[in-house]
Amino acid sequence: MKTTLAAGTLCLVVLVATGFPFERKGASPSGGAAKEKRVQYAAWDDVNVIAHGLLQLGQGLKEHVDKTKVQMRDITAKLKVFNRTVTEMGKESQRLRAVGEALKARAHGLEDREGQLLNVTAELREKAEEMQQERRTMSERISRLEERVDSMLQGDALLPDANTAGARNISDARNIQLMLESQNRRIDDLMERIRLQQEKLDKQNVRIRTLQSQIQQRQRTPARSSNDSAQSGAPEQRDSPVETALDCHELFLRGETTSGIYTIQPINAEPFNVYCEMTTDGGWTVIQRRQDGSVDFDQLWQAYEEGFGRLNGEFWLGLEKIHSIAKDGGYILNIKLSDWGDDVVSLSLPFQLGGEETKYSLQIPEVGTFSTLESSLGTDATSGLPFSTRDQDNDQKNDTNCAKHLSGGWWFSNCGRSNLNGRYFQSPPPKQRHQRKQGIFWKTWRGRYYPLKSSVMMIAPAVIENKS
């Protein structure tokens, strides 16, 4: 910048010098005619004054440029500060965006908790009503007992001679009670012996079948040539097929310990493939699995009767196949459930499944009192629950088709306790309650409006439960 200003100043000096010519001193007077023709030049002092002014102008320009540089540096510093501020604001906006996402996730979690709280509130209200009813019943019973005691005391006061008869009646009642208790103990002992004997018979039966299959395998020899047959004179033997197991537990007793797909053949049924879950206690035949929503379970009656899906993924084994395995009773149903927090629960119920003539009615005998977890299915199935689909309405609710109102096929009572064949919802579930009630739910675990993550249903002989 300084070089440019100096060059400009010199140019101005040259231009001024050439623009203001000056008169030379010592010119001869004889050249009068020539003097008129010569160019008149400015005085040297004038040139110095102009040059001095130009230098002052250049100095002013230099100071102005220096001030401009200072201002530019200030502006550059302010721009750097502005850029840092913009960067910090960008980071802050990203942080606020992350906080917003976290708040959204927390809001979804709060909505889920609100749904759970609503379910728990409804359950507590129902339990409170049940407890009030039981309290009223107990109060009535206590009142009747008090009346009886009062009447007995009055009778004793009026009839002193009846004390001996009352004592005799009490003694007889105690004797009868002791006899009944003794008889019950004997019955329990007999039932335990029968159970142990049945278990031994089952094991013997399995061993016999295993020996028969081994014998049949040993009888499988390569086909002999016709010359050898002629020389020996023995008739040619045919290969006998190995007897197929009745269920997965029989395969376990034969030595199979790896979970996977096997072929079984129940009594009076055609052979078919199943998925066997092998545990340390025995083999379980899987009849249903939900895990990723890859299979649509909103199927019609025929599909639920025959089965659908893939045995290595999501599937329903089929009502007819399940009936062929467990039609004679003596089986237990094991159900495993998991939620989106990866919490897992399981329950086991003895059951019996009727045939097509009963609409594949599920019957669960009441052995003692059902737990809270078991009550979602066991309470309604003590007298038998027929299976329902949207084209076969067999539920206990007269004005509603539960399978159509919810989704899938299930042993519905009044649409509200359980449905493991409903729609599969990925997390987070839909916000509308009328959609969430169509999902996979188990009311006494996570509530009516909580779609579960997975479910597995398996069956096995009751001997597994006795062993465990």
pLDDT, tens only, 360-372: 999 999 877 899 9
Calpha distance 353→361 (Å, rounded): 6
- pLDDT for residue 7: 56
Token duo for residue 75: 């502006």
- pLDDT for residue 338: 96
Token duo for residue 127: 């339990």
Highest mean pLDDT among 28-32, 134-138, 408-412: 408-412
- pLDDT for residue 134: 73
User: Amino acid identity of 309?
Assistant: G
For the entire predicted model, the pTM comes to 0.52
pLDDT, tens only, 380-400: 898 899 999 999 999 988 889
pLDDT, tens only, 165-208: 556 656 666 777 777 777 677 777 667 767 666 666 665 666 66
Q: With a cut of 70, say whether residue 234 has pLDDT above it.
A: no
Mean pLDDT of the region 44-48:
82
Rounded to 5°, angle at Cα 160 from 159 and 161: 90
Cis peptide before 235 (omega within 30 of 0): no
**Residue 78 CA neighbour count, 13 Å, CB half:** 6
- pLDDT for residue 238: 33
217 pLDDT band, cuts 50/70/90, is low
Mean pLDDT of the region 28-57:
69
Per residue, what are the HEC states of the chain? CHHHHHHHHHHHHHHHHHHCCCCCCCCCHHHHHHHHHCCCCCCHHHHHHHHHHHHHHHHHHHHHHHHHHHHHHHHHHHHHHHHHHHHHHHHHHHHHHHHHHHHHHHHHHHHHHHHHHHHHHHHHHHHHHHHHHHHHHHHHHHHHHHHHHHHHHHHHHHCCCHHHHHHHHHHHHHHHHHHHHHHHHHHHHHHHHHHHHHHHHHHHHHHHHHHHHHHHHHCCCCCCCHHHHHHHCCCCCCCCCCCCCCCHHHHHHCCCCCCEEEEECCCCCCCEEEEEEECCCCEEEEEEEECCCCCCCCCCHHHHHHCEECCCCCEECCHHHHHHHHCCCCEEEEEEEECCCCCEEEEEEEEEECCHHHCCCEECCCCCCCCCCCHHHHCCCCCCECCEECCECCCCCCCCCHHHHCCCCECCCCCCCEECCCECCCCCCCCCHHHHCCECEEHHHHECCCCCCEEEEEEEECHHHHHC
Calpha distance 352→369 (Å, rounded): 18
455 pLDDT band, cuts 50/70/90, is very high
210 pLDDT band, cuts 50/70/90, is low
According to the CATH classification, is domain 248-461 in 1.10.1200.10? no
Of residues 458 and 233, more confidence is placed in 458
What spatial distance separates the first Cα and last Cα of the chain, rounded to whole Å? Answer: 97
Mean pLDDT of the region 338-359:
94
Contact 447, 116 (CB under 8 A): yes
Calpha distance 94→100 (Å, rounded): 10
22 pLDDT band, cuts 50/70/90, is very low
Contact residues for 349 (Cβ-Cβ < 8 A; gap 6+): 332, 333, 335, 364, 374, 377, 378
Residue 308: closest CA among 336, 287, 325 = 287
> Rg of the Cα trace of the chain?
50
User: Amino acid identity of 259?
Assistant: S
Contact residues for 385 (Cβ-Cβ < 8 A; gap 6+): 361, 362, 363, 396, 411, 412, 413
Domain ranges (residues) in the chain: 52-144, 248-461
pLDDT, tens only, 253-302: 999 999 999 999 999 999 999 999 999 989 999 999 999 999 999 999 99
